[in-house]
Amino acid sequence: METYMMSIGGQPVQAERTFGVVNPATGEVFARVPAGDTAHLDSAVAAARAAFPAWSRTPDADRQAAVHALAGVLERHMPELMDLVTRETGKPLGGLNGVGAGMEVGGAIAWTHVTADLSLPVEVIQDNEQARVEVHRKPLGVVGSITPWNWPLMIAIWHVMPALRAGNTVVLKPSELTPVATLRFVELASGVLPPGVLNVISAERDAGVGEAMATHPGIDKIVFTGSTPTGRRIMAAAAGNLKRLTLELGGNDAGIVLPDANPEALAARLFGVGFHNNGQTCACLKRLYVHDSLYEPLCQALARLARDAVVGDGLQADTQLGPVQNARQRDYVHALVEDARAQGARVLSGGQLPEGAGYFYPPTVLADVRDGMRVVDEEQFGPVLPVIRYSDIDEVIARANDNPNGLGGSLWSSDPARAAALAPRLECGSVWINEHGAIQPDAPFGGVKQSGIGVEFGRYGLEEYTTIQTVKIMKS
């Protein structure tokens, strides 16, 4: 069994103890990683602070080249990293509609290259006979990154690459459930970056490392992807030194199918955006509102697709959907289904805990569900799609908005212009027309309400890793 190492100050670091990482397809430990602690965190922050002055003063073109080189590292080790991602998350190598470990590593490569080519040139506000006023973007210092278990390598890349590109140094803590691919990537990155520029710590849930990052006086910014309750705690703890924050938190994304849509034509796409990665994506479709006139045909089409989906070990070539990543999440998903069933929901597919090893759960389509049921009001984050009936467009927009989350939303119609005209009425950070969750590295992505603070990706995301300095040069 392979044992992986932390990387601090460019050196591999072990801890007194290790802990096991479970393959959710088997329920068995497949790798061991160091059980880091707050002393390791202090060492990593010290290394990052020591590396910051030189890295922040590195010529912009050299930092750009280094980030491109990191993309090259990902490319050269893509098969290995795909295998690790599949073993620790359960997602298939290929997956439903190509959404799997290959997409995770391939997307990480693409994001890295695009981020490398971003820049924040000096902006000139005034230049006349009296004065020249310039706005400069400067790196913040040490960025602390805390990543989740659903897309562990991809989201680490989303956090790390803009931080490095802007001239910051980084301390990264992956989820204790999925640290392996991230540890391996940082080990490989140590061959490209100066010592201390990128550091990674693995730690068990109760070690207090995440909490210590939020309060640490040597960390200038926290970027976190995860649950809203954890985001609130980070925000409160970060007040000690007024850390900058980027928080991408929970989503309970609504999709609205307008009455002019073709249910048979849309069913496969709706199924894909609701169930890829087993629904374990913040911007998955999680509440589907369907007009009365289309309701039953679309419910039945979705259920057929769910019953036909190939669920199994992600290392098998034909697998479309793997297991839920951990037993706790699977049990939560099943509890939501059972609550809906008890309140009269029709279970059109799935809905049963399978026997055997691993944390599998069948793709489940629920009909006759209502706002107010837990499966609608709470984010399932699993392979369950509640389909909710509506009759009036104004009413359904109000119902879609009546949720504390506001990450993404979608409108589905045979008339895209009509759907686009309704988009501004949805209270969410991104709206897709005849699509859902289609993010890209050059377009900003973030939530409103309790789905987060700040944005990621593109120029807007890169700005989040900088502070503004105004320089006024008098000429007379």
Per-residue tokens: 1: 């069994």
Per-residue tokens: 34: 């160091």
Catalytic residue among 88, 104, 176, 248: 248
Residues present in the chain in total? 476
| Spatial distance between the Cα atoms of 77 and 87, rounded to a whole number of angstroms | 16
Q: Is 245 in contact with 234 (CB distance < 8 Å)?
A: yes
Q: Is 231 in contact with 452 (CB distance < 8 Å)?
A: yes
Catalytic residue among 282, 284, 299, 428: 282
**What residues contact residue 293 under an 8 Å CB cut-off, 6+ apart?**
259
User: In which residue are the tokens 């590195």 written?
Assistant: 58
- Beta bridge partner(s), residue 200: 7, 172
Phi, psi of 196 (to 5 degrees): 90, -10
Select from 266, 253, 264 the least CA-distant residue to 413.
Answer: 266
Q: Are strands 11-13 and 28-34 parallel, antiparallel or unpaired?
A: unpaired
Q: Is 248 a catalytic residue?
A: yes
| Spatial distance between the Cα atoms of 371 and 402, rounded to a whole number of angstroms | 9
Per-residue tokens: 288: 């589907």
| Spatial distance between the Cα atoms of 54 and 91, rounded to a whole number of angstroms | 39
Select from 85, 128, 130 the least CA-distant residue to 104.
Answer: 85
For the annotated catalytic residues, the residue numbers are 248, 282
